[in-house]
């Protein structure tokens, strides 16, 4: 085995393997795009989670008697 082959096997191959693993770890976050950072204004559109019509929230009457599992809060 020549010196060049030994360098390739013991230096270049581990560096290439490290680079592939690092790429597999960081690639998903690069593809997802920007995230919200505290202190910055919110830039995403609001999302109604739970289905249905969001207007139901505005037309709901307030509950004055109890609540929760025990019906007492």
In the numeric block, which tokens belong to residue 55? 């207007």
Q: What total number of domains does the chain contain?
A: 1
Each residue of 29-62: b (16+ CB within 10 Å) or e? eeeeeeeeeeeeeeeeeeeeeeeeeeeeeeeeee
Using DSSP, state whether 44 is helix, strand or coil: coil
CB–CB of 61/69 below 8 Å?
no
pTM above 0.85, yes or no: no
pLDDT digits (tens, 9 = 90+) for 6-42: 999 999 999 999 999 999 999 988 888 777 778 878 7
Instruction: Determine, yes or no, domain membership for 40.
Output: no
For residue 55, is it within any domain? no
Q: Give the residue numbers spanning the domain of 29.
A: 1-33
């Amino acid at each position: 085995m020549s010196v060049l082959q030994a360098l390739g096997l013991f230096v270049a191959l581990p560096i290439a393997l490290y680079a592939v693993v690092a790429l597999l770890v960081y690639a998903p976050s690069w593809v997802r795009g920007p995230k919200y950072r505290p202190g910055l204004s919110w830039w995403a559109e609001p999302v109604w989670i739970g289905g249905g019509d969001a207007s139901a929230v505005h037309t709901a009457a307030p509950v004055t008697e109890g609540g929760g599992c025990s019906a007492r809060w």
